[in-house]
Chains A and B, each alone.
Chain A
Amino acid sequence: MSRTDELVAPADDLATGPVRVSLDRTWWQRHGVTTTVWLVRVLLVAAFLTLWEIAADRWIDITFISKPSDIIERLGEWIGDGTLWSNSWITIQEIIYGFLLGAVAGALAGFVLASLNFVYRVLDPFMMALYSIPKVALAPLFIVWFGIGMNMKVLLAAATVFFLVFLNTAAGVREVDRGLIDAVRLMGGNRWHIARKVVLPSSMTGVLTGLKVAIPYALIGAVIGELVASNRGLGYLINDAAAQFDTAGVFATLVVLSIIAGVLNVFVSMISKRVNRWKPIDD
């Protein structure tokens, strides 16, 4: 084989690249570790709940820690009379509206401000200052402005989400590789091409990171708003139960909140997968 023939040979034959081979693995080799991890998790939860059930009223005052069976009973009661669903729905709506509002505003502001170099330099310290304010401290002000209805919680959640998405988007836009921009300029691309073909996809990692970290904060913002002032929602339910020394009620609400948080985390990991799509394949 002459040298030239070698060069035009199909790429699979080149020793320079990775080669794909199929692996024959059993079900256990493939899923063994995952299965074990899940098994241990289930056992851990079961052991914890049993211990809690035994400890309640025997070693520790039940007023403080309640007990799993009471909590389940309370959940059943609330599901029966509709309290649980109506209050959860309020909170879920607040989370969704707050997140969408904050995320859209944050991403747009991030793109626009970070693309305008001068404006960004002027506004940067103000944005950082606003970002650093604990959003809980804004709650009283928001009550004065928007009342104690749902708007106040939505905006409190949105305020938290906005800054996280804004800062990550802006960082993403500003960290775009200069070389990639030049590459498109060399192809004869104008500003619009650069924005669409380079800046937008390149800053996607930043945007998605922002969305990812902001999801739990939408929940926090909504619940804190409800804790401060409300007559509906899961935050209200916690306040109300605690005021009556109904520990089982507080725990029951916490269970619902962690379920919501769990579902939100599924969204987070879906976003993470999307972020990593063009990163190298694992092992």
Chain B
Amino acid sequence: MTALLHAEGLSKQFAKDDVAIVALRNFSLTIEEGSFVSVLGRSGCGKSTMLNLLAGLTQPTKGEVLYRDRKLSGPDIEIGYLTQSDTLMPWRDVLRNVELPLEVRGVPAKERRRVATELVERVGLNGFEKHYPRELSGGMRRRASLARMLAGAPETLLMDEPFGALDAQLRTELQEELLRLWQGTGQTVVFVTHDIEEALLLGDRVVVLGGLGRIVLDRPIGLARPRSVDELRVDPEFVSLHGELAAALKEGSR
């Protein structure tokens, strides 16, 4: 596997009056093509800052992000980003929201409609194409956001606690759905979460972050796929990994 996304010595600080708040300090990470990497960390450890930098939304104060050995100077259409909060356009219905990335790219209307309809169906939203985001439940809005991101056909997906605001039941459903959508596509995923179970269920590799983006633990996860939450919970390997990650998180917060 080759390195697809590479962060080198990233630092990010936000200036406010006479002080700068440091969110990330000297952070380096390499993501291999086609892998599913879970990034685990407690709130405030710089996870979102890191993703914003990897997505090219913000520029690092120091260091650089390389995507396919090119320096990333702004958002790239090959990189899809599913943010923590919903950013569906409230004045567009589900279908037109999913069409948006294609619209920006100048795809003809007919083709747009076809791709969007298919994606809406794939995320299980058929029947709700004409609904506005406010008329949908939180879970359905997440599905719509997912469909919109996939409409851009990115080869890399960045996800920032995408299911954080959902109830446990729905979360499990969407996690398994994500795995189903991802498997066999060859897409690379960086999945940020604060939930150990989620990190283990999804990732090929788990990176545990401490304060300011310090990497506490970086290890591959050998659990067999397809994985299911209910079976994993009693798997001895899963239980020991869970303990290891919990300890790493604790160490990271010191």
Tell me the A residues contacting B by CB distance below 8 Å: 3-4, 7-12, 14, 16-18, 177, 179-180, 182-189, 193, 197-198, 201-202, 204, 277-281
Contacts and interface: CB of A to CB of B under 8 A. Distances in A.
Contacts of B134: 278-280
30 contacts: A3-B176, A3-B228, A4-B176, A4-B180, A7-B177, A7-B180, A9-B124, A10-B127, A11-B125, A11-B140, A16-B137, A17-B128, A180-B87, A180-B89, A183-B87, A183-B89, A184-B100, A184-B104, A186-B57, A186-B80, A187-B75, A187-B100, A187-B104, A187-B105, A187-B152, A197-B89, A197-B103, A201-B89, A204-B91, A281-B135
- Tier of interface size on chain B: 35 or more
Contacts of A197: 89, 100, 103-104
A16 to B, nearest CB: 5
B182 interface: no
Nearest to B89: A180
Nearest to B58: A182
Contact of B140 (A17, A187, A193): A17
B27 interface: no
B159 interface: no
A11 B94 CA distance: 13
Interface of B: 55, 57, 74-77, 79-81, 83, 85, 87, 89-91, 100-101, 103-105, 124-128, 132, 134-137, 139-140, 152, 170, 173, 176-177, 180, 228
* Residue with the greatest number of chain A CB neighbours at <10 A, chosen from B81, B91, B125, B137: B91
A87 B133 CA distance: 49
A214 B76 CA distance: 43
Given A7-B176, A278-B90, A18 B137 contact: yes
A18 B83 contact: no
B48 to A, nearest CB: 12
A17 B137 contact: yes
A16 B228 CA distance: 21
Contact of A278 (B76, B91, B228): B91
B173 A7 contact: yes
A182 B75 CA distance: 9
A7 B124 contact: yes
Nearest to B172: A3
B117 to A, nearest CB: 13
A183 B177 CA distance: 23
A214 B137 CA distance: 36
A202 B140 CA distance: 22
Given A7-B124, A11-B125, A278-B91, A186 B81 contact: yes
